[in-house]
Every structure is written in C-alpha cells, then in structure tokens.
Structure 1
Amino acid sequence: MFLKLFICFMFIPVIELYFLIKIGTVIGSFNTILIIIVTGFFGAWLARMEGIQTTLKIKENLQKGIMPTQEVLDALIIFIAGIVLITPGFLTDLAGFLLLFPLTRNKFKIFMIKQINKMKLNDNIIDITNSK
C-alpha cells in the first residue's frame, strides 16, 4: 500500500508537470495558467453543487429511516474529486471531473466497494453492498 501511494505522489506530479510544459509551449503559458485557474474554480463550484445535492439525499434518507450508505460513499468521492480538482494539472482535473459526474462516479463507487470488501479483515466490518 505504501509503495502505491509513493508511486502516486512521485509520478503523478512529474507527469502533470510534463503535460503543463508541453501544453504551455503549444497554447502559451498565460493560456495554460488561465485554463488551470478556470477549471479549478469551475470544479470547486461543481463539487459544491454535487455535495449539496448529496447532502440533501442523505438527510432525506435519514428522515425516512433508510441508512444512506450509497450517498455517504458519493459524498466521500465528491470530496476526493474536489481535492483533486483544486490540484493544478490537466490529468488531475480530468480525474476530478470524472469523479463528479454520476455515471463515472458510480463506476468508481462499484470499484471502491469491491476494494473495501477485499480488505475486510474480520467479520466486525460492515459490508457495503449496492442497494440499487
């Protein structure tokens, strides 16, 4: 696990920097910086809107007495997307936007559920299942 995190934190910034330099030489440094700033603000706004919508779904389910496990996972993924979107770079922006849109977020959520279920160490961990 540590090795995977190390690789992510070492190689992703290097790849991002490479793309920033390459794209900057094609469209200019000002345009590159402008795109990064605009996608950061738009991504933060979109993450906020999705987060508000998900929070309302959580409240609605709690009022109905339904455990909002899927919505809590959505909220976690939206939070991760927001963090990724404010990180400067084109690949992180793409990843962040993909995590914000419900269709691709659901694919990631299914992957995440499978990973959580694989990591179960004992029977005391709550099993997250797809109820939809």
Structure 2
Amino acid sequence: MPFLLLLALFVVVPILEIYVIIQVGQAIGALWTIALLIADSILGSLLMKSQGRAAWRRFQTALAEGRMPAREVLDGVLVIFGGAFLLTPGFCSDIVGALLLLPPTRAVIRRIVARRFTFGLVGDVPSPRVRSARPRGAGGPGTPRNPAGGGFDVEGTATEIDPRRLP
C-alpha cells in the first residue's frame, strides 16, 4: 500500500498537473497560464498568512483558557499543508490547497482527519498491558488492601534529581 501511495504521489500527480497546465495553456494561452499560476501562488500565500495567524490566535486562546488545543493544532497543520499546496505550481494542487485553507471546507476536512486518526486510539479496547495491570489492593490473590481504605498501596523507589545538573 505505501508503494502505491508513493507511486501516485510522485508519478501520477505530477503528470496530472502537467496535463491540466497544458490544457489551460491551450485554452487561454501560455502567458495567461503562467500569470494565473503566479497570481494564485501570491493569493495563496496571503490566504495562508491570514489563516495561519487566525489559527495561531485560536491556539493561544485555548492555552490561555487551560484547555487542550487539539482542534487548533490540527487547524494549524492543515493551514501549513494548504499553503504548501498553493505555493506548488499546478492547478490541481491549488484546488487542494484552497480547500485546506478556506475555513468551511477545512472544518469538514478536519473532522474527517480527526476521525481517521483517532479511531483505534481512544475509547477502544485497551492494550494487553493496561488490561493485565492491576494496582495493589484491586482484589485478587496476593494483593493486600490498604488498611486505611484510601487508595492503593504502591511499591517503588524514588531518586531525587538536582535540577541544576540537568542538561
């Protein structure tokens, strides 16, 4: 599967971009095609700048409110990818970049990406290590209960580290 993805990324996509550029060039002329590619790169960089700043402000607001900025981080990543697609010469990549930079379509893509990458990570069956780990006092043979009844007994060692000696 990774081979097919790389084949599509490095062979099929550039051929498709060249084909579309040639078709647009035949329809409107070579100079207008070049001008259009330059103009959409400039407009894309301006859009990326404004959307990147907005994503950064939302990220800082989330941190100031003390909540995890997961949505804001994903928005920032999508803005960076959208800007990279818009700066890449070609009309197909410009369409993808615009979809990633425009807030309504980015929200849809963000939900798809979040669903795709969080499935299997959160709320599913825990790993065997988590299932088999049982704190002391949780019942079972050989696990004495804390006599005070307030929590579990934990065995271990601790080492004090001088913060001045940290790298």
TM-score range, shorter chain: 0.7 to 0.9
Q: Who is 2:38 aligned against?
A: 37
> Structure 2: how far apart are the matches of 1:45 and 1:101?
12
> How far off its partner does 1:115 sit?
1.6
Question: Closer, same or farther in 2 for the Cα pair 1:29/1:111, shift >3 Å?
Answer: same
> Structure 1: how far apart are the matches of 2:78 and 2:45?
14
Q: Who is 1:20 aligned against?
A: 21
Higher helix share: 1
How well do the aligned residues superpose, as a CA RMSD in angstroms?
1.9
> Structure 2: how far apart are the matches of 1:115 and 1:16?
27
Identity %: 32
Matched, 1:63 2:64: yes
> Structure 1: how far apart are the matches of 2:9 and 2:60?
35
Matched, 1:52 2:53: yes
Normalized against structure 2, the TM-score is what? 0.69
Normalized against structure 1, the TM-score is what? 0.87
> Structure 1: how far apart are the matches of 2:119 and 2:65?
31
* Over 2 Å off, 4+ runs: 117-120
Specify the code of the residue in structure 2 equivalent to 1:114: R
What are the ranges of 5 or more consecutive residues in structure 2 without an aligned counterpart?
128-167
**Secondary structure, in 3 states, of the residue corresponding to 2:89?**
coil
Pick 1 or 2: higher relative contact order, CA cutoff 8 A, min separation 6.
Answer: 1
> Structure 2: how far apart are the matches of 1:123 and 1:80?
33
Specify the code of the residue in structure 2 equivalent to 1:86: L
Question: Closer, same or farther in 2 for the Cα pair 1:123/1:45, shift >3 Å?
Answer: farther
